[in-house]
Amino acid sequence: TQLLEQSPQFLSIQEGENLTVYCNSSSVFSSLQWYRQEPGEGPVLLVTVVTGGEVKKLKRLTFQFGDARKDSSLHITAAQTGDTGLYLCAGLLSDSWGKLQFGAGTQVVVTP
Amino acid sequence: DTGVSQDPRHKITKRGQNVTFRCDPISEHNRLYWYRQTLGQGPEFLTYFQNEAQLEKSRLLSDRFSAERPKGSFSTLEIQRTEQGDSAMYLCASSFPRGRLSTGELFFGEGSRLTVL
């Protein structure tokens, strides 16, 4: 059983559309991170959120950390083909010595 | 390039053979992690080191798996008597936590893909 549940598992949209990916848990995290992974490569860190209710923007990407620090969302505005990839959320439990718990990921495909 | 590097990138082996993967972390990072990722899943924690000390091992790490970080720099992950179920991407990551304020960001290598025939 995964500690972090991501939804949807797969998302296919056209260029210019918006999308939202969700990451939910019953556990409280001291921080939560989002990574993007491309085929055959390691995950690359996009953002870290720490404070409940925090919203961070990275160009067309908006990340939100839930008030209770149990969930997070990633919203992409006007998606581009370069946004295609596997989006992973990962949470840090307060007593975990830096060990991240990953969700299963959401595969996003943006078509021209 | 000063990122995390892993070698080899791809390894195909026959069941029962031993394989070893190497990871060179970012030089100033004192924590090093090994994760395993199978198709359609997120990375699963295997083990981690702080300097040369192995501080935690997952129950996923059977006695056929051993990891070392002898001088607190590079690390190796060895799998003995490989099984088809060991086929996966083995990811190494490093970090430089700043005490209790660490938020856990990991810097991953490109991974070593293992195929056991």
Give me the residue from B45, B91, B111 closest to A99, CB to CB. B45
Pair B108, B29: CB distance under 8 Å: no
CB contact under 8 A, B40 and A43: no
Distance CA B36, CA B43 (A): 5
Which strand ranges, in their side-by-side order, compose the sheet holding B65-68? B5-7, B19-24, B75-79, B65-68
For B113, name the nearest residue in chain A, comparing CA atoms only: A40
Residue B39 tokens, joined: 């198709």
- pLDDT tens for each residue of chain A, 112 residues long: 578 999 999 999 999 999 999 999 999 999 999 999 998 899 999 999 999 999 999 999 999 999 999 999 999 999 999 999 999 999 988 776 678 899 999 999 999 9
Amino acid at A28: V
Nearest 5°: CA angle at A82, between A76 and A86?
70
Any idea of the CA torsion for B109, A3, A59, A43, to the nearest 10 degrees? 10
Give me the residue from A98, A103, A104 closest to B95, CB to CB. A98
Distance CA A26, CA A71 (A): 8
pLDDT of residue B1: 54
Distance CA B45, CA B32 (A): 11
Distance CA B34, CA B25 (A): 11
Distance CA B65, CA A74 (A): 36
Tell me the β-bridge partners of A57: A62
Amino acid at A84: T
CB contact under 8 A, B106 and A99: no
Task: Give B92-106 pLDDT, tens digit per residue.
Answer: 999 886 655 566 788
Contact status of A97 with chain B (Cβ, < 8 Å): yes
B107 chain-A contacts, CB cut-off 8 A: 45
B48 chain-A contacts, CB cut-off 8 A: 97-99
Give me the residue from A30, A43, A104 closest to B40, CB to CB. A104
Q: How confident is the model at residue B87 (pLDDT cuts 50, 70, 90)?
A: very high
Pair B110, B23: CB distance under 8 Å: no
Residue B42 has pLDDT above 70, yes or no: yes
CB contact under 8 A, B33 and A90: no
